[in-house]
Homo-oligomer: A and B are copies of this chain.
Amino acid sequence: MLNFEIIAQKGKARAGLLHTNHGVIETPVFMPVGTAGTVKALTPDLLKLLGTQIILSNTYHLYLRPGMEIIKKAGGLHSFINWNGPILTDSGGYQVFSLNKLSKISDDGVSFQSHLDGSSHFFTPEKIYEIQEILGSDIIMPLDECVPWPVSYKAADKAVERTTKWLSRVAQKERLFGIMQGSLFKDLRERSAKEILDFDLAGYAIGGLSVGEEKSKLWEYTSFSVDLLPDNKPRYLMGVGMPEDLDYAIGQGVDMFDCVIPTRLARHGTLFYKNKEKNVSSRLNIKNSEFSDDFQPIDSSCDCYTCSNNFSRAYLRHLFINREILGIVLMTIHNVRYLIRLVEDLRKEILNGTTAPNG
């Protein structure tokens, strides 16, 4: 099951409900990333406490380790990792290309060597779907070719062609999203959109952005791409997660996001906070000596466990400098909650400023 309903709109922005096999997701939604079957440093209980509604896991990583046999025996990914909420799994394609210099792509699929042990593997659209079916994913992404920026028109054109061809081989399956490619070429985006919309899929993702282009281009092409997608299906902007990007893209009508940014930045001591003077999201680096005797929370307006329980910047700096795991845990909690709350607040604004759906 994967059904979407829009319950409110404000300009191009929408608030909706996405019904999945593991519960209802309120959109717009930010999905924390759990690459290897864990959102790094967080227990499932903490994830729930932070307002996490759905996590993203990586097909490529889980396929290689622990491998499908073990996950099958465990009764699927939810059971293996002890997360009873919805899970979206990506197609693995992006990882195959970014982690494997020796990967070879053909119209049939993609061959690659494991970055862990060098073993050889071949992903086809059918196999990628089957893996995610075994994982028990609530939202399944098809094998696609995501080209980085900069890229030639010709290569971007070929990637659109392959992405469509691969999609066509599994398009009758359940719980499947389509992925739009086309890089920073508007005619290719139009073509890709037209082709994937030929299949009546559960949702549509905007791929091929946040892959090296400038922020102004990310925004321009987000807006352009959203307008090519139908109103009545969820729209997922892949790999995007800076606060200002979420703010902008939700205003443009995007419903779903994922990004490793909040967890990765936390592990490097970089923390989001609200700059009240400028009324924007800013970042601080906890390593800076100015925080050594700063006994404020990271963000006094934040409701996360870390900020609301008086864990001070000075203590977090102390933990970070001592390479203490607790520091990573407390800072990850903050950064993830910061983004989830930002999206929750934008959703409330949409609900409060409601105009009639599609009106």
Contact = CB atoms under 8 A, between A and B. Distances in A.
Contact of A43 (B44, B69, B321, B330): B330
B324 A325 contact: no
A232 interface: no
Interface string A57-72: 0000000011001100
Given A66-B292, A318-B66, A312 B74 contact: yes
Contacts of A39: 326
A275 interface: no
Contacts of A40: 324-326
A65 B322 contact: yes
B309 A82 contact: yes
Contacts of A319: 36-38
Nearest to A325: B41
A325 B322 contact: no
Interface residues of A, number: 40
Contacts of A36: 318-319, 322, 324
A208 B330 CA distance: 36
A184 to B, nearest CB: 35
Contacts of A318: 36-37, 65-66, 70, 80
A345 interface: no
A324 B82 contact: no
A322 to B, nearest CB: 5
A37 B312 CA distance: 13
Contacts of A156: none
B43 A315 contact: no
B38 A324 contact: yes
Given A65-B318, A66-B318, A318-B65, A38 B326 contact: yes
B325 A66 contact: no
Contacts of A37: 315, 318-319
A314 interface: yes
A70 B327 CA distance: 17
A310 interface: yes
A42 interface: yes
A242 to B, nearest CB: 23
Contact of A326 (B43, B293, B295, B310): B43
A43 B326 CA distance: 7
Contacts of A328: 325
A4 interface: no
Contact of A311 (B82, B295, B314, B329): B82
A154 interface: no
Contacts of A41: 325-326, 329
17 contacts: A37-B319, A38-B327, A40-B326, A41-B326, A43-B305, A44-B309, A65-B318, A65-B322, A66-B318, A69-B293, A70-B318, A73-B314, A74-B312, A74-B315, A80-B318, A82-B310, A325-B329
Given A37-B315, A40-B326, 12 more contacts: A36-B318, A37-B318, A38-B319, A41-B325, A44-B309, A66-B292, A73-B314, A74-B295, A74-B314, A80-B314, A80-B318, A81-B315
Interface of A: 36-45, 65-66, 69-70, 73-74, 80-82, 292-293, 295, 305, 309-312, 314-315, 318-319, 321-322, 324-330
